[in-house]
Structures are given as structure tokens and as C-alpha cells.
Structure 1
């Protein structure tokens, strides 16, 4: 399921994750639309967090670490709030929408 962004086809794995990270906002919009998500500012905050974590650690956080990290800028966030944003699984779906490769194992570090 490759995504086409600005006329360029991006390579994905079997689950629709990009093979190589792409940090453009256009990629986020295309993948979010494919996932059936209408992005809000909260989505973008989580996406920026996931991208920062990937840049810093070379992988994305698992759900527990994600929740802890998100609480730094969204203190009232809980599991339910993250599942409302990313109903297919916050750690994995947020990574996909952020234009990042598939998380390792059960969802990163």
C-alpha cells in the first residue's frame, strides 16, 4: 500500500508503514487520510513528539513510554484520550501517521 505524496510514490512495508522516515507535513496528511483520521492540533502534538523520539532514539516509544512522554505537554492525557486520537493503537498508529517506520516488536523502547 504505497502512498503518493506530491506525485512521488513512497515505499511501505506490508502494514503500510514507510520503509524510511519522512518528516514532511504532506506525508502526515496523506497517511492520516488513508487511516480515516481527521487531524486536530492534539494529533499534531503527538506526531511531533513521536518524530522527536524517533530522531533521538532511532525508534518510537512503546505505549507506556509514549503516555509518559505525552504527559509532559498534555498532563491530562490518559490511555482513553490517546485511543480517541489513534483508535488502532496509539503507539503504532501514531508512528505510522507520523511517517515513521514500523515500531520494533511490541512498540519500541
Structure 2
């Protein structure tokens, strides 16, 4: 599969994840979010950029939801709930957020 962004064809897996995370940029994220039915807000961007930073700069770490909640609390000044994250990413924050962040699929089960 592939998506079109600014006249470029970007390869994706059958599940819609980028085949190469280096192909990601904010326009790609917007297109992936559009496909997912999500309009990106500042909080979405915070999570997406956090997930990318963890993966790229922290040994390909893909944090579980509990860690994302703790780190977003530091960034946002108040602790979000799981419900808050699911309002941002209804199909699972760490999975759908990871997809929009252009990262490989998370293959673990659950993961609070």
C-alpha cells in the first residue's frame, strides 16, 4: 500500500504503518491522521512527537500507555487519564499514535 503526500508516494504496510519511519514529516502525519479520522490538535502533536522521540532517541523504545500518561502529565502540567488519551486516539493511544508518528506497529498485547 501507499499514501500520497505533496505529490510523493510514501510506502505503507497493509495495516497503514509507514514502511520507513524516515519518510515521516508533519504533512505525512496529517495525512495518516486524516486516514484514521483524526484532526490533530496540540495534544495529539505532543503525543506523536513524544512517541517519535522515544523511538528514535531512546533505543527504539515504544512506551506502554502508563508511561505515556506519566510523561504527558509532566508536559501538560496535569495527569491525563486513559480516557483522555483514548479521546485523542480512539483505537488505542500507543497503537494509533504510533501509526500517525510514522513508527513500526507495536506488537505487544494490551499494555497499560
Measured against the shorter chain, the TM-score band is: 0.7 to 0.9
1:39-93 superposed Cα distances (whole Å, 9 cap, x missing partner): 1111111111111111122142122222222222122311011000000100000
Pick which of 68-77 and 50-59 moved more.
Answer: 68-77
Query: How many Å separate the matches in 2 of 1:52 and 1:65?
Result: 14
Give the TM-score normalised by structure 2: 0.85
Match of 1:102 in 2: 105
CA separation of 1:32/1:20 partners in 2, compared to 1, >3 Å: closer, same or farther?
same
Query: How many Å separate the matches in 1 of 2:10 and 2:39?
Result: 21
Mapping for residues 52-91 of structure 1, pairs under 5 Å: 52-55=53-56, 56-74=58-76, 75-91=78-94
Greater fraction of residues in helix: 2
Q: Which 4+ residue blocks in structure 1 deviate beyond 6 angstroms?
A: none
Match of 1:3 in 2: 3
Structure of greater relative contact order (alpha carbons < 8 Å, 6+ residues apart):
1
Q: Secondary structure in 2 aligned to 1:65?
A: helix
Q: How far did 1:100 drift?
A: 1.3
Give the TM-score normalised by structure 1: 0.88
What is the aligned length?
108
Q: How far did 1:19 drift?
A: 1.4
Match of 2:42 in 1: 41
Where does structure 1 lack aligned partners over 5 or more consecutive residues? Answer: none
CA RMSD of aligned residues (A): 1.7
